[in-house]
Amino acid sequence: MARLDEVLGMKVRRAGLGLIVGAVLMAPTAASAGPALVFEPYNGTVFYSEDPDAAWFPASLTKLMTAYVAFQALKDGSVKPDTNVVCSKKATEQAPSKLWLKEGEAITLDVALKVLIVKSANDVALMIAETVSGSEEAFVARMNEAAQRLNMTRTVFANVNGLPNERQVTTARDLAKLARAIIIEFPEHADLFTTVQVQVGKKVLRTHNGLLVNYPGADGMKTGFICDSGFNVVASATREGRKLVAVILGEPSVASRRERAVDLLDNGFKRYFWKSLFGTSLDGLAIQASLSSGPTHLRDSVCGAGKLKAKRKVVRKKKSRSTASSSSR
């Protein structure tokens, strides 16, 4: 691919298009919070980036890697879609968001993966891990091996569901690499990420990803939240055969997370043609943060005393069994 300065040295500059190119490549103007990155998954072209290498708590975006490792196990035949996934005592002890199964109850792996992505159930994430690898520890080792293979150089997993753990960190760039791997390596599971609800027994579970319901072309992937991370999302959308993925971390609310995702994806689709010609690749972005920099903690700003009280009031009204301080969703 030709470099932008080389292209602009050609006759296109003489045709008066240099200013147009500069205008088209301008970044979105919406106010931002945490790191963000927008890219095309098949060629890795980056459409927008902000602090792509800042360390961050992934929260339930962790479950994208949980799903990825489970997909690998399905592919190698060590498990099947109808394999029973049994709830252990340890699974019942996981904090919400949960499916709330009792010890000994079981669902199939196919259903478990749907619940993992749609409901973001922490107990089900552990059940999948124990089914695939025998223990959470063994499964986490596979997650970290996969991260190394995908060149997620600043990511460390310590659990399978994203519940608070100081050692569990990632970056927007690394999450982009994971999203790209899922899309390219496992297209047969694409429908999983477009699912807006799943029924388990009498329970109807609905997605936390509102973009799937109200953003044209939205087709995945996963939301995440703990107090220290703020509201995260990896959001994908396809329009006229063109696919973009936005990684957004650290938003202060569900509403602002959605607004930023819409803004970044809209701007990406508007700039698609020019960026496909002149954009930097996902792997070619210069490193923009020190390896020694630890993750940002947003607990006080996102879940301060007053805000946490308000969140709990809303939760009680919805008769939810989850809490804003512990849930990873």
What residues does each domain of the chain span?
Answer: 32-317
The per-residue pLDDT for range 315-324, each reduced to its tens digit, is 444 444 444 3
pLDDT digits (tens, 9 = 90+) for 278-311: 678 898 888 876 666 788 899 998 998 656 555 5
DSSP collapsed to 3 states, 118-165: HCCCHHHHHHHHHHHHCCHHHHHHHHHHHHHHCCCCCCECCCCCCCCC
Query: Would you identify the CATH topology of the domain 32-317?
Result: Beta-lactamase (3.40.710)
Buried/exposed 77-98: b ≥16 CB within 10 Å, e otherwise: eebeeebebebbeebbebbbbb
Indicate the pTM of the whole model: 0.86
For the ranges 37-51, 77-91, 223-237, 272-286, which has the lowest average pLDDT? 272-286
What's the count of helices (H) and strands (E) in the chain, helices before strands?
A: 14, 10
Give the model's confidence band at 214: pLDDT under 50 very low, under 70 low, under 90 confident, else very high. very high
User: How far is CA 311 from each of CA 303, 317, 322, 324, rounded to the nearest angstrom?
Assistant: 8, 10, 11, 7
Closest C-alpha among 80, 53, 240 to residue 155: 53
Query: Is the pLDDT assigned to residue 29 strictly greater than 70?
Result: no
User: In whole angstroms, what is the distance from residue 41 CA to residue 176 CA?
Assistant: 8
**pLDDT average, residue stretch 154-159:** 98
Strand ranges (E), 211-284: 218-226, 230-239, 242-251, 280-281
Query: If 0-12 CB within 10 Å is exposed, 13-18 middle and 19+ buried, where does residue 254 land?
Result: middle
CA distance 8 to 22: 10
Tell me the pLDDT tens digit for each residue of 174-206.
999 999 999 999 999 999 999 999 999 999 999
Q: What is the pLDDT of residue 328?
A: 72
User: 303-313 b/e with 16+ CB inside 10 Å = b?
Assistant: beeebbeebee
What's the CA angle centered on 194, arms 190 and 196, to 5 degrees? 150
Lowest mean per-residue pLDDT among 96-110, 143-157, 174-188, 278-292:
278-292
DSSP state of 28: P
CA distance 197 to 177: 27
